[in-house]
Amino acid sequence: MRPILLQGHERSLTQIKYNRDGDLLFSCSKDHVINVWYTHNGERLGTYDGHNGTVWTVDVDSESRFMISGAADNELRLWNVATGKCLYTWEFPTAVKRVAFSEDDKQVVCITEQRMGYQCAIRVFNINRAGDGNKQSKEPAHMFNPVGSKATVCAFTAQPGVIFTGHESGKVALFNLKTGEEVHSNERAHGDVVTDLQMSEDRTYCITSSKDKSARIHDTKTLDVIKTFTTETPLNSAALSPNKPYVLLGGGQEAMSVTTTSLRQGKFETRFWHKVFEEEVGRVKGHFGPINTIAVHPKGLSYASGGEDGFVRVHNFDDSYFKSQPYGDLQIED
């Protein structure tokens, strides 16, 4: 396959996200810029300008109407997707590391960094979708400080009012938003900081990646570890494929040997593992630096990866990918 190279960022990518219909891809980077691209041809639709620091995270609602972003300038911003206009800005004492929309688009959750006397905080805001969207409440609907290790990633689960979090220590936990209490936790889910969290379509399970060189799939209700994928490099991102039994893992810090071939194409790889058999099934090269973020099209038709090199590479799978069955025909009979 021939990837489409999106060169809209001058510094490393921090997160990329497909919208629900899969026709738009949002990318944010350390260069303070958020870009949105049409996925069918890689054409850039526009940029969202306003942040004054590394944009760590973005998320888009299911209607592709509002986009939310969090940056190192301590701001959480709500944007109009179609026009690029910033609708509302929330300010905090510390940087915003992760944002996520709820499934009904009515709430967003965000994590603010622990720094200089401020504890790590998780806030949930109700989003007023009426009108332009620029009338939002300044105060959060819920706010709490998770005890113990600071949270690095979070997302809403299938259970109302419960969010799933990943922490610096490798812990994963479930928090009740109303009470702010940690409902359940798995302290030893990972051995090192949890770097990414992506939910399944129905939010009943999720995948986490960690610097402990592994990725794991967890049940979002019981926190049972369903699958573990162990690699030899710290992982920065993990994604689930909706239509094929694969998970995509990406990371960095490979021990690279000197190569005499030209570096027209980078050697950092996105790795495909079988979701059930926990075995690596393939790799795709291309990035010139560690892969920081991976996203899969909601219908599994393509995937995109964002790297430390500032490139986003969008790969449309070809027929052989859809037809191949490396473990044979394992269809469940009806």
Q: How far is the CB of 144 from another protein (least distance, A)?
A: 35
Q: How far is the CB of 74 from another protein (least distance, A)?
A: 22
Residues 6+ apart with CB under 8 A from 112: 74, 92, 93, 94, 95, 96, 97, 118, 120, 121, 123
Q: Choose between 221 and 244: whose C-beta lies nearer to another protein.
A: 244
Q: What is the DSSP letter of 40?
A: T
Of 14, 171, 164, 52, the C-alpha closest to 103 is 164
Q: Does 285 contact another protein by CB under 8 A?
A: yes
Other Cβ atoms within 10 Å of 318 Cβ, number? 10
Q: Does 243 contact another protein by CB under 8 A?
A: no
Where in 39-98 is the site for another protein (CB under 8 A)?
A: 40-49, 63-64, 82-84
Rounded Cα distance, 46 and 86, in Å: 13
Which of the stretches 36-44, 92-100, 145-153, 197-205 binds another protein when contact is defined by CB under 8 A? Answer: 36-44
Q: Does 331 contact another protein by CB under 8 A?
A: no
Of the candidate residues 1, 10, 187, 188, the single one contacting another protein (CB under 8 A): 1
Q: Does 21 contact another protein by CB under 8 A?
A: yes
Query: Do the beta carbons of residue 153 and residue 165 sit within 8 Å?
Result: yes
Q: How far is the CB of 124 from another protein (least distance, A)?
A: 27
Of the candidate residues 103, 168, 182, 280, the single one contacting another protein (CB under 8 A): 280
Q: How far is the CB of 105 from another protein (least distance, A)?
A: 14
Which of the stretches 33-41, 53-61, 132-140, 160-168 binds another protein when contact is defined by CB under 8 A? Answer: 33-41
Exposed / middle / buried, residue 329 (Cβ in 10 Å: 0-12, 13-18, 19+): exposed
Give me 231's structure tokens.
Answer: 């690699």
Q: What is the DSSP letter of 289?
A: S
Q: What is the DSSP letter of 265?
A: S
Which of the stretches 93-101, 160-168, 266-274, 290-298 binds another protein when contact is defined by CB under 8 A? Answer: 266-274
Q: Choose between 66 and 272: whose C-beta lies nearer to another protein.
A: 272
Of 118, 98, 94, the C-alpha closest to 110 is 98
Q: Does 327 contact another protein by CB under 8 A?
A: yes
